[in-house]
């Protein structure tokens, strides 16, 4: 009887030990699976973190100044400025976000931190340099007058210019140059270059002053009736990228700009948009 009471106790002990071993094994497997899941989760988090660490460069352009920047038939921003922006972002290993902004509000938007830089065929002027910092130039501009082929508009004659109504885009080097050099002329100002071209085409003005390349772009579609009058006006006008005052981004962009000029990317983009000599 004593043995019969001892035997069940030993069996019970054995079962308990086996149960404990089974439980420990199960917990070990669970821990291993959890560890693997945590490792996978950590890897995913690290990958997401790497993506998050790729800084975004928010850039504003006008989107109405072909061939520098414009909106194409699909509604996408395109042009020389847009391609330069994307090349700079690639060189800087940044993700680009490019938005269209009306010209009058483009510097206020930068100062209000709506974006980080302006790449929009913007001329460097003392007035603008008081509000923003400029990078090294990325393009040199000149001006031209446009009028109908059969008009008597002669830009070499101050009398002709002063007696004409001339279209220009507001707050641009072309309008400022005209105001400064011919204060007596009648200037009709427009918010966009496209609207100025529309009035020229509709003969609501006698002539128009414009940056050379946008004028050539427009003439490629309207050259049967209109032409450049006189010689182009050399004004030592440089386009540069605007950033906020004292922003370290200026040096980063300058370094990237020098790199894309050195490796041939800049010339390829320039030849794509400006195939003329």
pLDDT in tens, 116-130: 999 999 999 999 999
* Selected residue with higher pLDDT from 159 and 8: 159
**Distance, CA of 144 to CA of 110 (rounded, Å):** 30
What is the sign, positive or negative, of the torsion defined by CA atoms of 55, 93, 71, 217?
positive
Q: How far is CA 5 from CA 1, 2, 12, in A?
A: 6, 5, 11
**DSSP conformation letters of 92-159:** HT-EEEEEE--GGGHHHHHHTTS-SEE-SSPBP-HHHHTTSEE-S-SEEEEEEEEEETTS---TT-HH
| E strand map for the chain | 56-61, 64-65, 69-71, 77-78, 95-100, 117-118, 133-134, 139-148, 165-169, 186-190, 207-211, 226-239, 242-243
Q: What is the mean pLDDT of residues 17-38?
A: 44
pLDDT at 236: 86
Tell me which architecture the domain covering 141-237 has in CATH.
Answer: 3-Layer(aba) Sandwich (3.40)
Residue 170 has pLDDT above 90, yes or no: yes
| % residues pLDDT > 70 (the chain) | 80
| % residues pLDDT > 90 (the chain) | 78
Query: CATH for 56-138+240-273, among 2.40.128.20, 1.10.3720.10, 3.20.20.80, 3.40.190.10?
Result: 3.40.190.10
**Distance, CA of 189 to CA of 176 (rounded, Å):** 11
pLDDT at 51: 46
- Supply the Cα-derived Rg of the chain in whole angstroms: 33
Q: How is the chain split into domains, by residue range? A: 56-138+240-273, 141-237
């Amino acid at each position: 009887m004593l043995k019969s009471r001892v035997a069940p106790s030993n069996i019970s002990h054995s079962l308990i030990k086996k149960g404990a071993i089974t439980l420990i094994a199960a917990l070990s497997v669970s821990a291993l699976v959890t560890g693997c899941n945590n490792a996978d989760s950590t890897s995913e988090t690290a990958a997401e973190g790497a993506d998050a660490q790729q800084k975004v460069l928010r850039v504003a352009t006008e989107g109405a100044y072909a061939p520098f920047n414009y909106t194409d038939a699909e509604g996408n921003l395109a042009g020389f400025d847009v391609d330069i922006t994307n090349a700079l972002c690639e060189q800087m290993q940044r993700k680009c976000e490019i938005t269209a902004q009306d010209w009058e509000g483009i510097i206020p938007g930068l100062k209000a931190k709506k974006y980080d830089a302006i790449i929009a065929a913007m001329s460097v002027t003392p007035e603008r340099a008081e509000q923003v910092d400029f990078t090294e130039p990325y393009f040199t501009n000149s001006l031209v007058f446009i009028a109908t082929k059969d008009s008597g508009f002669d830009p070499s004659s101050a009398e002709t210019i002063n007696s004409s109504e001339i279209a220009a885009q507001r707050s641009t080097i072309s309008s400022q140059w005209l105001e400064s050099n011919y204060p007596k002329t009648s200037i009709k100002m427009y918010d966009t270059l496209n609207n100025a071209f529309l009035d020229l085409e509709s003969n609501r003005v006698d002539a128009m002053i414009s940056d050379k390349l946008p004028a050539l772009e427009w003439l490629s579609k309207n050259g049967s009736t209109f032409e450049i009058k006189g010689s182009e006006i050399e004004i030592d006008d440089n386009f540069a990228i605007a950033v906020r005052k004292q922003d370290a981004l200026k040096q980063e962009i300058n370094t990237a700009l020098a790199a894309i000029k050195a490796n041939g990317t800049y010339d390829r983009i320039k030849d794509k948009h400006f195939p003329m000599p």
